[in-house]
Structures are given as structure tokens and as C-alpha cells.
Amino acid sequence: METDPIDAAFSRSPSLHTSSAIASSASSEVAQTPPVSNPQQDAKGRPWWKGVMCYQVWPMSFKDSNGDGIGDIKGIISKLDYLKDLGIDCIWVSPTYKSPMKDWGYDISDYEDILDQFGTLQDMENLIEEVHARGMRILMDLVITHTSDKHQWFRESRKSKDNPKADWYMWGDKRPDHMIDTANRFCKDLSYPDIDPPVVPGRWQPGSKHYINGPKMHPWLKEIREKIDRDAPGKDIMIVGELPLTPYEELLRYVKPQEKELSMVFDFDMVKLGNNDNPDEYAKHEVCNYMDNDPSYTLPGFKTAIAKVQNLITDTNAWGTVFMENHDQPRSIARYATPESRHWREAGKLLCLLQTTLSGTEFLYQGQEIGMLNMPISWGSSEFKDPDAHIYIGDYVELNRERDPFAHDNAIRGVFKVGRDNSRTPVQWSSEANAGFTGSNPPWMKVNDNYDWLNVEAQKKDPNSIWLFWKDRIAMRKHYRELFMFGTFATYDYENTHTFTYTKMAEDGQTALVILNFSNDELPLNTVQRHLLGHTYRLIASNVSEPGDKLRPWEGRVYIVRDALEQDEAGTPRIVKDVQDHLAVYGKLLDSARNSGGSSGRSSRMMFCDNA
């Protein structure tokens, strides 16, 4: 495969130290040359990556083509027409490079080859060609800030202190009885005494400020941007960063266009809801869900997390993303809505309405379009494939065995709630054996027991399915692109713990009202919602067949409540009183979101996309 200039830029950048198979999770995405028919900018001069519908493929669990039980590149090719029909513009493919697979491909041992279980370099060339033949783009996930310890660079680097690659990794002098912790893993015995005096009162001390948002982070990102622009002149290269628990003002430093660092951001405030917002004591699996009635996860908190990214876009000309699932997060219906099967369909559609009406670049994860669910807890821990899950269970039991007689069971329950394996069960294509994911051989990971009724084939035949709802809402988002992709966001009735009410307003004044019932209760429209609805409106989307005077449990509605405003001679909408009111409420929300930002965060993962 011919080396792209941007790959050469990555290979010249020093990697981070790892003495085991992997270190911290950092990656990039590079999109290959798109067809000429795909413009680099839209009619208003905005870059192409702001207005696309992206779909993440985690190859091992997407589709197996050769019957070995493992998803592969040819399997992805076989489903491209399916993705095109759904309305997908861009496919993000998780790592398929040579790897010992200690962390499912994010520990790369050869950047220039494909792992045999996924196929060959020619298969990858064919995938790129077939994606472009359908007018879509492809993003390749490229992990660059660490390598596997099996990588030739690492092996050369460790040979001596004066070899050419000695400084490609960070090495420390060996000391007796000393262990170097990675920044995101606690290895010390927690029974060790605290420092005296402690920096802050309490059990945990603030170490995060010393390893996240560090003094060299922004210069490093600026250097990355400068190298990319230099080595790929004239190409609109998109860089995405993961920034968990990053305060609003700090977030702006990463994504403001004038800073020339990141193009957009994955903000993780939403996925970390239900957990304390202190990264110094963060344990992923100890997270509550919305329906747990835990005070640390409320609907107003959910609104704040969403408003943070929406305000980033509308207030600063920065850009963000819209997502609810990925390969590291549980399935969204149980996480953000309800685990009750009687409301599964409505809840899946409600989250679709939310996601497709928010501004930003949209990311849909495989299986989300049919409402795939978490692993059933009846499987037990023997089905866990994720090493992090087993590490967590052992650590939790060790730390809590004396105060929690059910520590082992509680730890397992936490993994079933938010563990990474939940999103990695094979995609359920049909009711055939192994859900149509593979042939008669056992798949690498067990297929969810519900595949006999929850599968793509059944939903494509069902006019009331979540799949068809997603397809229609993606089309709606593209039809009203100025309103839903780029419109101004404002929320109302903020403290309401049952409903989420917000508006989206396009530059020409066209306004949509979105009302979402996040509860098991039937609710009348309240005063705020009736006032926003006004007297002249039209319903353009709902997840129930016949919306009535009351909102049904998990019902969502989208109305157009104002068409485009009259424009002056310069083409600028004439601002009327209700628009001014709209912006005033938006300003209050902005202040609230800023004040509610997380305590700290890190740019732990980057994705690069090259449009040519």
C-alpha cells in the first residue's frame, strides 16, 4: 500500500513509553481519498466533516465472511450497501493492523500491515475502493501515541541508550523495588498512609492536575497540526480529541479554530454521568444508570452534559460531536433511558430523536440503529472477554471484601451495567444461527440471547421498527441540515426531572421544538411546553403512532414552530421579540453549563481524518 504523507508525519513523531503491551489509549483516524463527487466544503463554505453521518465499525463483531467466527474486512464490504441505504456518509473502522491483541487491536505491532484474522492489505484496498464507489468516506483508526511492546520500534529502542530510536520511548533508570505507574491505572496499595499533611482533606489526593491538561499538551497539539498541514498541503484534515471531564473554558483551548489544535471534540461528561467527576478516584464500573434513582445521575445533569457541547458550537464557532455509544461504552437504551423491555422500542426511538436533532458531527455505533441491548446478566462473568472487566472485579473484591459481603456479585453487576463487552457482542443480522454474524462455527464472543427477535432482517420488514425510525430521522436531519446540524440550541424547564424540552433555531429563524419524556409516566404538556408550541406549528417526527394531549412514557416529539423569518436586504433575518427571548434563555443555560463543567480532563485520544 502506498504510504500517504500523513502516515510519514505520524511515524516521525515519538511514541509514548510502554513497558508492557500497551499504554494510554490514544489514536487517530485517517480517511482515504474520497471520490471527486464529494466536495470539501458545503455551499456555505463549511468543511465536509461537519455535515456527515458517521458509523463506527468494530470489525471483530461486525460481520464474518469466512466462517471462522471473527468479523473481518470482507464482512464489512458485504454490508456497505446496508450502510448506504441507512443514510451513512462516512465509516469509521476501528484498528485492523498487526497486533498481539492485548487490547483488541489498540496495541499495534506493525502500522503497515493487516492482522491476518481481519484479512490482507488487498482486502483493505478493496474496502476503500468499494466505500468510495458508493460516494462514502472511510476513516481508519490509527493509534499513534503508544505501540505494542512487540513493535520493531520498541524492540530497537530498548537495545541501548544510544541507538537511533532510543528516545522514541521514554525510559527510566531501573530502581530496586520500584514500579512506574501509568497515569490511568492505580497500582499502589491503598492501605499506604496518606502524605502528611494532605493537599486536600479526604482519602484521595489531586494527582490528575499533574498528568492531564499538562503544560506541554497545547504546544504538542499545535505541533501535530503544523506538521499535518505542512505534509498534506491543501487537504482539509480533521482531528478529533477525546476530552473526558474537561472544564468548559479548558475545552475551548483545544477546539477554538484560531487555536489550530483540534477540529472537534468527543466530550465525555455524558458517558460519565452517575459517577463522581473526580478523575483521581474514578472507577468506570461503579456508575449508576438513569433509572437507578441515584442522585448522582439526574435528567438535569444529563441536560447539562449535552448543553455543554451544544453551547461550544453555537457560542464560539468551535465544533463538537454527537454520540451515545462506541466500542468502550455500554448500549445506550439501558444506560440513558430504561432497561424495561416494555418500553424498549419507544426508548430507542426517543434517543434517536435526541441524537439526530443536536448540532455537531453525528456518530452512530454498530447495532445502535436496531436498539441492540447489553449482555444479559444471566451469562455470568465467564463470558467476559474484556481484560479490564476481570481486573476491576479483582480490584473491587480486594478493596471491599471486609465492608461488602457481596463484593464479588456487586462487581460483576457493575460490569454488566457499563462494561465494554456490552457493545462488543456480534451484530445481530438475522434470526439464523449465530444471528447471521457467522456460519456454524462458534463466534469469538457469544451472541446476545435476544437475536431471535432483535435483528436487522426482522426490523427491515417491520414498519414500526427502530431501524426504520433511524433511517427516517437521518433523512430528516439531512433535509433540515441548517436547523439540526448547525442550529442554535436552547433548553427550557431545565430543572424538570421527567422531560427534556429544547429548541433548535437556524440562521434564517426557522425553529424546531423538541419534547422528550424521559419517564415511565404519562404526562400532560406543561405550561412551558404549551407556550413554546404556540398556535402555529406542525409535527415532523414522533415515536408514537398518534400523539395525543398527553405524552406517553418515553414519547418524543419534534415540531416546526416557526418557519424562516423575513430577511432584510443583506439577507439577515429580522430579529423579533420571541427570538430575543430565545437567545436570553440560551445565555442563561450557557452560564449554567460553564459553571457545571467537570473538574479536569485529558486529551487521551485523537482521531485524524484526511479528505483526500
C-alpha cell at 515: 419534547
Give rounded-to-5 percent helix, strand, coil for the chain.
Answer: 35, 15, 50
Cis peptide before 197 (omega within 30 of 0): yes
Alpha helices of 134-172 — where are they, by DSSP H?
152-157
Sign of CA dihedral 243, 245, 250, 255: positive
C-alpha cell at 33: 481519498
C-alpha cell at 162: 544510544
Distance of CA 37 to CAs 53, 81, 136, 236, 612, Å?
17, 18, 10, 16, 12
Q: Which of 323, 407, 440, 423 is nearest to 367 (CA)?
A: 423
103 is catalytic: no
C-alpha cell at 278: 473526580
Q: Which of 260, 368, 358, 356 is nearest to 308 (CA)?
A: 358
For the beta sheet containing 28-31, the strands, ordered from the edge strand earlier in sequence to the opposite edge, are: 28-31, 137-142, 90-93, 53-57, 361-365, 321-322
Alpha helices of 287-377 — where are they, by DSSP H?
299-316, 332, 344-356
Q: Where are the beta strands (DSSP E) in 46-152?
A: 53-57, 90-93, 97-98, 110-114, 137-142
181 is catalytic: yes
Burial pattern 30-53, b for ≥16 Cβ within 10 A else e, equals bbbebeeebeeeeeeeebbbbbbb
Q: Which residue has the cell 473538574?
A: 599
Query: Quick one: residue 436, left, alpha or beta (phi over 0 = left, psi -120 to 50 = alpha)?
Result: left
Name beta bridge partners: 511.
505, 562
Q: Give CA–CA dist 410/400, Å, rounded.
A: 10
CB 591 within 8 A of CB 246: no
Q: Is 561 helix (H, G, I), strand (E, B) or coil?
A: strand
Active-site residue (options: 4, 242, 277, 346): 242
CB 58 within 8 A of CB 50: no
Name beta bridge partners: 92.
56, 139
Q: Which residue has the cell 445565555?
A: 587
Other C-beta atoms closer than 10 Å to the C-beta of 511 total 26
Other C-beta atoms closer than 10 Å to the C-beta of 575 total 12
DSSP state of 495: T
Active-site residue (options: 81, 112, 181, 581): 181
* Ordered DSSP codes for 373-422: -PPPGGG-GGG---HHHHHHHHHHHHHHTTT-TTHHHHHHHHHHHH-GGG
Positions marked catalytic: 181, 242
